[in-house]
Amino acid sequence: MMVLLLALKITFLGTSASIPTKKRGQVSIAIQRERDLLLFDAGEGVQRAIIESKIGFKRSMKIFISHLHGDHCLGLLGLLQTMAMMDRTDSLQIYGPNGIKKFISVNMEALNFKLTFNLDINEIGEGIIYEGLDYKIISCYASHSRKSLSYVLKENERPGIFYPEKALELGIPKGELWSRIQNGETIVIKNKTIEPEKILGPARKGIKIGISGDTRPTNKLVKFFKDCNVLIFDSTFSDELQDKAIETLHSTAREAAKLAKEASVEQLILNHISTRYAKPDILLKEALEAHSNVKVAEDYMIVNISNID
């Protein structure tokens, strides 16, 4: 039996809510998928976090901004300038809510710096906003104090498990034809057409990763994040500050966990942690009372996900 293996690597570059601490930078999450680097939010100091994480500045990169609050976007200008100073030449795409084009252009003019690469800025709403190789990025409006977006990375459905013994029984020699079948192609050998279904198991779901940005929990987000393998969700406060969460349009750790359970999420990662919680044990405790698989995000924490069954 052969299985194609493709890993996604999530690196938390910053995990603090609003104000950085000694241990937590402002919010940014990097997802590496093959050669693609997908960056979600860019708080201040994100370029230093990228250096610390040894991710690199010159690879294929897309940036997705949830909303125009400083702790989620002020690192963009420093990041762009750093990449220009390192002579990046590959184009860079940025996606975000209305106003992001003006935010970047006004600040670039004020700081008086030029880029060495083409910058493609896209103001987006809801829906499929980017399609890569075998995956897509989808956006959905969150519930926050200004227009804010949540994101999902969703892989396309994958071909089923490849059974080499079945291929040999049908007279298919090992090599290029096996690879084509693994990719779901129908092949012809000795005037005989062989469908991939004769050799592959049932099709398998792709990986799904959700990133909430800043938000209150909503039924809309329950549907949006349905069946995520990993959900990274706003968990700014503990139960005792429930009123403040409602007032500021954030979520508590317990609320994040309840939403994750309702959405049948495999693993929940609490993010955007208030500076009140130097040790976020209370957030983890309260979340675990509602969902059995929870972690608290820490700066430079890495989560690897593979599509192996």
Measured CA to CA, the distance from residue 16 to residue 143 in angstroms comes to 19
Q: Residues 6-62: pLDDT tens digits?
A: 579 999 999 999 999 999 999 999 999 988 999 999 999 999 999 999 998 888 999
Q: Which long-range contacts (CB under 8 A, 24 or more apart) does 25-30 make?
A: 25/49, 25/299, 26/71, 26/72, 26/74, 26/75, 27/71, 27/72, 27/271, 27/272, 28/75, 29/211, 29/232, 29/271, 30/55
User: Nearest-CA neighbor of 38 among 54, 62, 13?
Assistant: 62
Furthest CA-CA distance within the chain: 71
Whether residue 36 lies in the annotated active site: no
Residues facing 63 on adjacent strands? 39, 94
Model pLDDT, residue 55: 92
Catalytic option among 36, 41, 71, 227: 71
Residue 4 has pLDDT above 60, yes or no: no
Domains and CATH numbers, the chain: 7-158+204-306 (3.60.15.10), 164-198 (no CATH)
pLDDT above 90 as % of the chain: 77
Mean pLDDT of 182-195: 85
In the predicted model, is pLDDT for residue 75 greater than 80?
Answer: yes
Read off the pTM. 0.89
